């Protein structure tokens, strides 16, 4: 019997495909050595000086902007077309996303709380991050789901 990989809950709820977010296909996502990486939806990426997409590690330099959010990954566990094409589709701009708890750092997420990205996860902005990337729209403590609005 085949084993199904359970993906974290992730859904773009506003701003894409019809709205203020812009999408882009990336032919390759690479690590620091330039080797290709498989990424899943919900991964934050940025573009390096060679023009390749790399995982975002916001919190160290201002060169990490703009941030792109992968909505179709090239990892086989995503089960989307990106796996077959070995490309990823990512968005930037203004949009809202619903994340499951594996995609954000535990904390007290009151509506309006400013959030940033650290180590690939959404977290409460604490002043140590380079920039404020969005704000909390809603947090469901029972379902452990976080809804965040990202803006340019």
Question: 39-93 pLDDT, tens per residue?
Answer: 888 888 888 888 888 887 665 455 556 788 888 888 877 666 666 677 888 888 8
Domain that holds residue 122: 97-150
Q: Is residue 2 part of a domain?
A: no
* Angstrom distance (rounded) from CA 103 to CA 40: 11
Residues 88 and 19 in one domain: yes
Question: 16-38 pLDDT, tens per residue?
Answer: 667 788 888 888 888 878 888 88
Q: What is the pTM of this model?
A: 0.79
- What is the count of structural domains for the chain? 2
Domain boundary among the residues 76, 92, 108 is at 92
Token pair 């077309």 in the structure block, residue: 81
What the block records as the tokens of 67 is: 């941030």
CATH number at residue 47: 2.40.300
Q: Is residue 1 part of a domain?
A: no
Q: Is residue 5 part of a domain?
A: no
* pLDDT of the residue at 111: 96
**In this structure, what are the phi and psi dihedrals at residue 82, rounded to the nearest 5 degrees?**
-60, -35
* Angstrom distance (rounded) from CA 29 to CA 26: 7
Element (DSSP H or E) covering residue 82? helix 81-85
Domain boundary among the residues 92, 108, 138 is at 92
Residues 18 and 65 in one domain: yes
Residues 109 and 86 in one domain: no
100 Ramachandran zone, left/alpha/beta (phi>0; psi -120 to 50): beta
Q: Is the pLDDT of residue 112 over 90?
A: yes
């Amino acid at each position: 019997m085949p084993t199904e990989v359970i993906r974290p809950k992730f859904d773009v709820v506003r701003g894409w495909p019809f709205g203020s977010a812009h999408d882009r296909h990336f032919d390759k996502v690479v690590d620091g050595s330039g080797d290709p990486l498989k990424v899943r939806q919900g991964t934050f990426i940025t573009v390096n000086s060679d023009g390749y997409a790399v995982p975002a590690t916001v919190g160290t330099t201002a060169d990490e902007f703009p941030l792109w959010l992968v909505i179709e990954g090239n990892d086989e566990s995503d089960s989307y077309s990106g796996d077959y094409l070995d490309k990823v589709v990512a968005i930037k701009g203004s949009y809202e996303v619903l994340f499951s708890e594996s995609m954000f750092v535990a904390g007290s997420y009151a509506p309006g709380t400013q959030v940033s990205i650290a180590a690939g996860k959404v977290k409460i902005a604490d002043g140590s991050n380079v920039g404020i990337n969005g704000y909390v729209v809603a947090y469901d403590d029972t379902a452990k789901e976080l809804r965040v609005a990202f803006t340019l």
